[in-house]
Each structure stands twice: as structure tokens, then as C-alpha cells.
Amino acid sequence: MTEETPEEVLAEARRWWHTDIIDVRPGEIDLRGYPVQELIGTVGFVDTIWLMLRGELPSHAQAALLEAALVASVDHGPQAPSIAIARMATTCGARINGAMASAINVLDDIHGGPGQQCMEIYLQIDAEAERTGDLGEAVRRVLKRQSDAGVAYIPGFGHRFHPLDPRTPRLLSLVDAAAADGSVDGRFAAIGRAVEDAISEGKSRRVPMNIDGATAVIYCELGFTPELGRGVFILSRSVGILAHAHEQMQQGGRIKGPVPKSIGYTYTGPARRSVPNERDK
């Protein structure tokens, strides 16, 4: 068996991980080729998020739209499961990292995933419209596929708390303004509105686009993949999670559960019973 030379060991180590994102050498840190000291104080955090995810610095218009989506998704109150979990975790003694990790871990397909799922639907509609040349027909075909697959509702539309999500009109107005000046082409805003029209047809009350549907429009307009769409939502909601975890630490409290002790819960199992003296062996 031939032993590897030190040069061969070093070469193998360098091949183990490879990345286009960062280059770190003694005294030097480059993000996507930009020296970090030149980025510091020159570009904003949102620009840096874009740079890290997309490889280049964004235009001012792109950064503004991304920032708007991030601001809109920061928090939705202690009734949101991720926020509640962060607060409960701190009352159980978790430090800030544990509280945040516990909260982020529940941002999965149901609580945290609808924005990604909505982006996937928008992209299917966009591809269908490209083939048919008819947006309305594309929406009908994709929504029928969703229905045939047993999807009960379209993610990104309707809200259990808000009759009209107050964040949606503002976000869409920013997309419209960006489309008007050519920063984005606006086709995903048209897709989102067409979906809203289609799923509201024949109903007594309109099913409006919610925050997930509106941010899905923005992330699609900006060229993000659905997976990155969920990721940047998690970045945004992490700010609210951090704020609530820290606030709960200041307030104190020990081992707070999801509801006050006085409310309790509903037991649905067998009535109280005794263990039989003789049981089958």
C-alpha cells in the first residue's frame, strides 16, 4: 500500500468541500469575491443576503422588494406556533440559541411552508401559460391538478384571522411599481391575482391573497427558487422569534405551557378504571 505524500493529503482536504460563496485565507475574507472590509459599511444586510444566495449584488430595486417581503413576514404574534414555542422554551430554561432553534424547527410544511408551496404553484402556472399562451386556461389546468391530487386549499390564499391580510395590498403595490419601471416584469403578480379570481369564483365571499401568496409573488418575480423562498421567510421570522424569546426572558416565568393552567384541555380517552387483578398471561 502506497502512503500518500503530504501534498496529496492537502490536495484531498481541499477537494473535500468546495464553495463559490466564501474564500477565507489568513488576513483575508472574501464573500463571492468581494473583500468583506469593502462590503462593511458600504452595502446593507439585505444586499448581503442577496449576494450570498444569488452570487451578485442586487440592484436597488431588487433589494427594496426583497426587504419589503422580509419586513412583512417578521412576526404574527404569540399565537403563531413558532413564536409561542420560542417563548415557552425560554420559560423552560432554554438559552437564546435553543429557544430560536426550537421555534425554527417547526417552520415546516404546514407552518412555514405555504409560501414555498405557493411559489411552486405559480411556477407551474407560468410554465403552463408559456405553453398555452392563455393565463386563464393555465390557472384552470393547474388548479384542477391540485384538486385532483386532493389538495383541499391553495396555499397563499385566505386567512383564518384576517378578512384581508393588511400586508398583501402594500406588497402588491410595490410589485406593481417595480413592474412599471421595468425592475420586474409583473407576470407573477398577474398569476397571483388570476389565482385569487379563480378560487373566489362562485363563492359568496372572496378568498384573498395572504402574506404567503404575496411574498411568493415577490420571490418569484425576483427569481428565487421555492426552496430559497422558504429559507428567506425563515430568516425574516427569526427576527420575531428572537424578539419574543428575549422579551420572555426579561418577563421571566417558569414552565409556561401552550395555555394557562385554568383552561386545561379536553380528555377524550376511557373513563377512569382499575387495573384488573387477573390478566391474561
Mean pLDDT of the chain: 95
Q: Is residue 33 situated within a structural domain?
A: yes
Report the CATH number that the domain containing residue 168 is assigned in CATH.
1.10.230.10
Half-sphere exposure of 268 (CA within 13 A, CB side): 2
More confident residue, 280 or 22: 22
Going by pLDDT thresholds of 50, 70 and 90, the confidence category of residue 40 is: very high
In one-letter notation, the amino acid at residue 222 is: L
Kindly report, residue by residue over 113-129, the tens digit of the pLDDT.
999 999 999 999 999 99
pLDDT value at position 57? 98
Q: pTM surpassing 0.85?
A: yes
pLDDT value at position 1? 55
* Beta-sheet strands, E only, within the chain: 22-25, 28-31, 34-35
Q: What are phi and psi of 146, to 5 degrees?
A: -65, -45
Residues 28 and 134 grouped into a single domain: no
Domain with 221 in it: 114-231
Mean pLDDT of 155-173: 91
pLDDT value at position 152? 85
Q: Is residue 8 situated within a structural domain?
A: no
CB 217 within 8 A of CB 189: yes
Residues 200 and 125 grouped into a single domain: yes
SS3 (DSSP) at 25: strand
pLDDT value at position 160? 78
CB 215 within 8 A of CB 165: no
The count of structural domains within the chain is 2
Q: Is residue 151 situated within a structural domain?
A: yes
Q: Is residue 272 situated within a structural domain?
A: no
pLDDT value at position 195? 98
Give dist(CA 140, CA 124) in Å, integer. Answer: 11
Going by pLDDT thresholds of 50, 70 and 90, the confidence category of residue 164 is: confident
Kindly report, residue by residue over 230-271, the tens digit of the pLDDT.
999 999 999 999 999 999 999 999 999 888 888 888 999 999
In angstroms and rounded to an integer, the radius of gyration of the C-alpha atoms of the chain is 25
Mean pLDDT of 203-222: 96
pLDDT value at position 280? 66
